[in-house]
Amino acid sequence: MPARRRNLEPGGFGVTAIDFRTDPVTARRHRVVSLVTHTDIPDIVWADDETGCYGVWGTDAKGKRIVVERSGPIRIVSARR
């Protein structure tokens, strides 16, 4: 899933979906924030702020890395340094 953008206002765009595995260059320019705790979501794999769904790295019962899907109010924002 490459980064999808939506038009916020004339001349401005906001990211609505991003896959940190397939688009790492764009992903480094953004971060995913929980609107409940107002903190960054760690170990993010992919996110879609229109639907409020996202995936994070987790482990299964055997210790293998898997992607765990979650949902909640999130926002993808620019990572300003």
In 10 A of CB 33, how many CB atoms?
Answer: 18
Tokens of 47: 């996110």
pTM for the predicted model, two decimal places: 0.75
Backbone angles phi, psi at 60, to 5 degrees: -90, -175
Backbone angles phi, psi at 5, to 5 degrees: -125, 150
Q: What is the pLDDT of residue 80?
A: 65
DSSP state of 44: E
In 10 A of CB 25, how many CB atoms?
Answer: 7
pLDDT (tens place) for every residue of the chain, 81 residues total = 555 555 444 444 466 888 888 888 877 888 899 999 999 999 999 999 889 999 999 999 999 999 999 999 999 888 765
